C-alpha cells in the first residue's frame, strides 16, 4: 500500500457502482474544452487530453458532454462533441478505448444545454419561454410536446451510441441551467401540462429519459445523473431545497446507479466555485442528500481541492466519491500524486476560472497553472515530461515570481544549469502579495509553494537579496537569460509625487494608510487593493483612472463579485481622469469636465509598470534572453506561468 493510500484510506478504497467496481473513490468529472471540431467530431487533441486524465489514477474518467440533437439546440459550446448520429461512434470509441487502456472506467456524459445552448443558432429551447438574465445567451423558445418526446428519444439514442462506442457508464447532465434542469426548476418550467406543474410533473422529462436509457442499455451499464441540490435561484423562484431532494428520489426510482450532486446555475447571483467560496463549503448538501434517504452512491465536486475534505466526508458517511474537474485540469496526475503522498508536486488549481472564461468565448480552454492542457501530444511539449537537452546551457533567471520559478524549474528539468536571482528575501512576487487579499486569496500561496518546491527538487540554485546588474551579468556569463523581473507600482511624474505610497506596500501592510484613500490605477490591481481596504475597514476609498470602465483585466467569473463588494464598501470611481498633482488637500485630477481636487490623506500608486531596466544591458552584451510575465507587460498570473514555461522550452530549441 502506498503512503498516501494509508493516509487517505477511504478515498483509496474500492466501491461498486451498479455492476462495476471502482478501484478508488475518485472520479474525473465532465468538463467542456472546445478541443473538438465545430461539426461535433472528436479530434486527436481531445483524445490526448482524455488520455492524460485516464493515466492520472482516477477510477472513473468522464468525457465532456456530448450534445444529442442534430439541430444544434443542445450545443452550448463550439467545440462540443456530438452523439446525435452513428457517424460519431468511431471518434467516441477512441476516447472510450484510451480511458480503458489506462486503467479507468469510461463514462460518457449526455448533455443538452437547453436555455444556455444553441451556440450557433439565434435561439435556445426549454420547457417555457422565460427571458434570459445573462446577455450572452439567446432568447428561448417553448418546446412542444412533440419536441419534448423527440428530445427524450435523442437522449436514449445517444446512450445506445455510447455503449456501441465501448463506454461502460452513462451520465445525464441535469445541472447549471441545462435542459433537464430547466424542466425540473420552477424558475424555468411554467408549463401546465404533464411536463410541468408540481415537482413530479416537472421531473417527468428527466424520469422518461432515465427509464428509457435504462431499458435501452440494460443492467450491465452503469447509469447516473448530475443534479442540483440547491439551484441558488431563490431570488427568482427557483426550486426549494426539498423539491431538489424529491427530484433526486425520482431519479433513483427511475433506475440510476449513482448520483452526482452540485450547487448553483450559470444564472445564480452568488458565488459557487470561485476562490471566495471556502473549500468544503458545499459538503452540507451531500449530507442532506444522504439524510434524505438516497441509497445509490453520491459523488460531488465543487471546491473540494484537497483530499482532507472528501476523506472526512466519506469517513463520516456523507459522501461516496470525490469528483474533480478543474483540479484535474490543473494536474491530471493528482490522484496518483495523492496516493504517493507527494502533495507538494500537485499543480494546484487556483480557481481562477480562466478555463471557463475561454470556454464562454468560444475558444479552446487554457489553464493558469497547466501549460500542457490541450498540447498533450503536441511536438515540443512532451507528454507531461521533458527529454534532457544534448547541450546544457548556463541559464540565469532574474526574478523569483511565478513566471521566474516556472521557467527555472522547467529549464532545470530539461538539464540546464539554472540559477535564479531574486532581489528580495522571498519568492512569489506579486502572487505572494496578492495572497494577502481577503476572499480566499491566501490560496495563491499554494502555487508559490508548489513552484518553490519544484525549483528545489529540480536543482535550481536560488540566490536571495540579489539584484542583478551589468556587473552581475559580466561575472556570471550566462548563455541565456530569462527576464522575469515583474512590475512595480511606480509613482506618476507629477508635483507632490513624493507623498504617494506604493500599492504593493499597502497590500503587505508595510505602508500606513489614512482614512481618505485615493488609488491611482484603473485595472485589477487597483480594485484588489480597494477590496483589501474595504474589508480592513475605516477607509473612504476613491479609484482614479484613465479608463472608461475599470477592472477589464479581471476574469468575468470574478469581476462582478469584485464590483459588488466595492459597491457595498461605497468605493467611488473617477473614470477618464488623469492625476496632475498631489497636494496637502488631496489629488488634483484632470477630467473631461475640468480639474477637480479629490480629498485624500493617503494617495496610492496602484497601476503596475514593467521592470525592464536590464534589457539594454543584455542587448549590448549580446546575451540571448527572453522577457516573461509582467516584465513584458503587466497582465494576469496565467500569462506569467505559461510564458515562463514556454521560455524554458525555447532555450536553444
As annotated, the active-site residues are: 178
* Element holding 85 (H helix, E strand): none
Contacts of 549 (CB under 8 A, 6+ apart): 575
Contacts of 187-192 with C-beta under 8 Å, sequence gap 24+, read: 187/130, 187/231, 187/233, 187/236, 187/237, 187/238, 187/239, 188/115, 188/126, 188/127, 188/128, 188/130, 189/126, 189/127, 189/128, 190/127, 190/128, 190/130, 191/127, 191/128
CA 536/CA 525 separation, integer angstroms: 17
Strand partners, 594: 591
Can you point out the beta strands (E) in 357-401? 394-398
Under a CB-based contact definition with an 8 Å cutoff, are residues 251 and 225 in contact?
Answer: yes
Question: How far is it, in rounded angstroms, from Cα 310 to Cα 298?
Answer: 12
Phi, psi of 419, rounded to the nearest 5 degrees: -120, 130
Exposed/middle/buried for residue 543 (C-beta within 10 Å: 0-12, 13-18, 19+):
buried
Degrees to nearest 5, angle at CA 17 with 326 and 152: 75
| Cα Rg of the chain, angstroms | 27
Using CA atoms, how far apart are residues 419 and 481, in angstroms rounded to an integer? 10
Backbone angles phi, psi at 200, to 5 degrees: -65, -45
Cα 623 to Cα 613: distance, rounded to the nearest angstrom: 15
Instruction: Confirm if 7 and 334 have CB atoms less than 8 A apart.
Output: no
Q: How far is CA 249 from CA 299, 379, 566, in A?
A: 15, 49, 42
Which contacts of 439-445 are long-range, i.e. CB under 8 A and separated by 24 or more positions? 439/275, 439/276, 439/531, 439/535, 439/561, 439/565, 440/274, 440/275, 440/276, 440/277, 440/278, 440/351, 441/275, 443/275, 443/348, 443/350, 443/351, 444/350, 444/637
Segment (H or E) for 174: strand 169-174
Nearest to 426 by CA among 407, 454, 445: 445
SS3 of residue 186 by DSSP: coil
Q: Give DSSP secondary structure letters for 114-152.
A: GGG--TTSS-EEESS-PPPSSTTSPPEEEPPHHHHHHHH
What is the rounded distance in angstroms from the CA atom of residue 105 to the CA atom of residue 296? 18
Q: Write down how long the chain is.
A: 653
Going by C-alpha positions, the residue among 298, 307, 374 that lies closest to residue 340 is 307
> Pick from 146, 55, 144, 44: which is nearest to 91 by CA?
44
Q: How far apart are the C-alpha atoms of 226 and 51, rounded to whole Å?
A: 23
Amino acid at each position: 500500500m502506498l503512503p498516501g493510500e494509508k493516509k487517505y484510506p477511504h478515498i483509496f478504497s474500492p466501491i461498486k457502482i451498479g455492476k462495476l467496481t471502482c478501484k478508488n473513490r475518485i472520479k474525473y468529472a465532465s468538463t467542456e474544452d472546445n478541443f473538438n471540431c465545430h461539426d461535433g467530431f472528436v479530434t486527436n487533441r481531445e483524445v490526448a487530453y482524455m488520455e492524460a486524465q485516464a493515466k492520472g489514477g482516477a477510477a472513473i474518467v468522464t468525457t465532456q458532454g456530448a450534445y444529442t440533437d442534430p439541430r444544434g439546440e443542445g450545443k452550448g459550446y463550439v467545440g462540443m462533441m456530438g452523439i446525435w448520429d452513428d457517424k460519431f461512434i468511431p471518434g467516441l470509441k477512441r476516447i472510450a478505448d484510451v480511458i480503458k487502456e489506462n486503467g479507468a472506467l469510461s463514462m460518457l456524459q449526455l448533455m443538452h444545454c437547453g436555455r444556455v445552448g444553441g451556440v450557433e443558432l439565434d435561439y435556445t429551447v426549454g420547457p417555457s419561454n422565460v427571458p434570459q438574465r445573462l446577455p450572452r445567451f439567446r432568447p428561448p423558445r417553448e418546446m412542444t410536446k412533440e419536441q419534448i418526446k423527440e428530445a427524450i428519444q435523442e437522449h436514449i439514442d445517444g446512450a445506445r451510441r455510447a455503449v456501441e462506442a465501448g463506454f461502460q457508464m452513462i451520465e445525464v447532465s441535469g445541472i447549471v441551467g441545462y435542459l433537464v434542469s430547466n424542466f425540473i426548476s420552477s424558475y424555468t418550467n411554467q408549463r401546465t401540462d404533464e411536463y410541468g406543474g408540481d415537482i413530479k410533473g416537472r421531473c417527468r422529462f428527466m424520469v422518461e429519459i432515465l427509464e428509457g436509457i435504462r431499458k435501452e442499455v440494460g443492467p450491465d451499464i452503469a447509469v447516473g445523473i448530475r443534479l442540483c441540490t440547491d439551484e441558488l435561484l431563490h431570488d427568482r423562484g427557483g426550486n426549494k431545497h426539498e423539491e431538489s431532494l424529491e427530484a433526486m428520489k425520482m431519479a433513483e426510482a427511475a433506475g440510476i446507479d449513482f448520483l452526482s450532486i452540485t450547487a448553483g446555475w450559470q444564472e445564480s447571483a452568488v458565488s459557487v466555485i470561485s476562490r471566495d467560496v471556502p473549500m468544503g463549503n458545499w459538503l452540507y448538501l451531500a449530507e442532506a442528500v444522504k439524510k434524505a434517504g438516497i441509497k445509490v452512491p453520491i459523488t460531488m465536486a465543487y471546491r473540494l481541492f484537497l483530499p482532507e475534505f472528501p476523506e472526512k466526508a466519506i469517513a463520516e458517511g456523507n459522501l461516496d466519491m470525490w469528483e474533480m474537474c478543474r483540479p484535474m485540469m490543473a494536474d491530471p496526475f493528482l490522484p496518483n500524486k495523492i496516493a504517493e503522498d507527494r502533495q507538494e508536486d500537485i499543480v494546484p488549481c487556483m480557481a481562477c476560472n480562466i478555463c471557463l472564461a475561454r470556454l464562454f468565448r468560444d475558444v479552446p480552454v487554457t489553464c493558469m497553472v497547466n501549460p500542457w492542457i490541450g498540447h498533450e501530444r503536441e511536438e515540443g511539449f512532451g507528454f507531461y515530461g521533458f527529454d534532457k537537452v544534448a547541450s546544457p546551457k548556463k541559464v540565469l533567471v532574474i526574478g523569483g515570481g511565478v513566471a521566474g520559478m516556472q521557467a527555472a524549474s522547467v529549464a532545470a528539468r530539461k538539464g540546464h544549469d539554472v540559477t535564479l536571482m531574486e532581489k528580495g528575501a522571498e519568492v512569489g512576487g506579486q502572487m505572494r502579495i496578492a495572497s494577502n487579499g481577503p476572499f480566499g486569496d491566501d490560496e495563491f500561496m499554494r502555487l508559490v509553494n508548489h513552484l518553490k518546491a519544484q525549483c528545489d527538487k529540480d536543482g535550481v540554485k536560488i540566490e536571495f537579496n540579489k539584484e542583478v546588474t551589468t556587473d552581475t551579468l559580466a561575472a556570471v556569463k550566462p548563455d541565456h537569460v530569462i527576464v522575469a523581473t515583474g512590475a512595480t507600482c511606480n509613482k506618476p511624474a507629477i508635483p507632490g509625487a513624493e507623498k504617494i505610497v506604493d500599492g504593493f506596500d499597502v497590500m503587505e501592510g508595510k505602508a500606513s494608510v489614512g482614512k481618505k484613500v485615493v488609488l491611482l490605477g484603473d485595472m485589477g490591481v487597483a480594485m484588489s487593493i480597494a477590496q483589501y481596504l474595504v474589508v480592513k475597514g475605516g477607509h473612504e476609498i476613491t479609484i482614479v483612472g484613465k479608463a472608461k470602465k475599470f477592472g477589464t483585466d479581471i476574469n468575468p467569473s470574478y469581476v462582478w463579485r469584485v464590483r459588488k463588494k466595492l459597491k457595498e464598501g461605497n468605493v467611488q470611481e473617477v473614470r477618464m481622469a488623469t492625476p496632475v498633482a498631489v497636494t496637502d488637500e488631496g489629488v488634483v485630477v484632470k477630467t473631461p469636465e475640468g480639474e477637480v481636487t479629490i480629498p485624500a490623506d493617503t494617495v496610492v500608486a496602484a497601476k503596475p509598470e514593467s521592470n525592464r531596466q536590464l534589457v539594454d544591458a543584455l542587448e549590448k552584451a549580446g546575451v540571448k534572453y527572453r522577457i516573461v510575465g509582467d516584465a513584458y507587460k503587466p497582465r494576469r498570473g496565467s500569462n506569467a506561468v505559461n510564458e515562463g514555461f514556454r521560455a524554458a522550452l525555447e532555450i536553444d530549441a
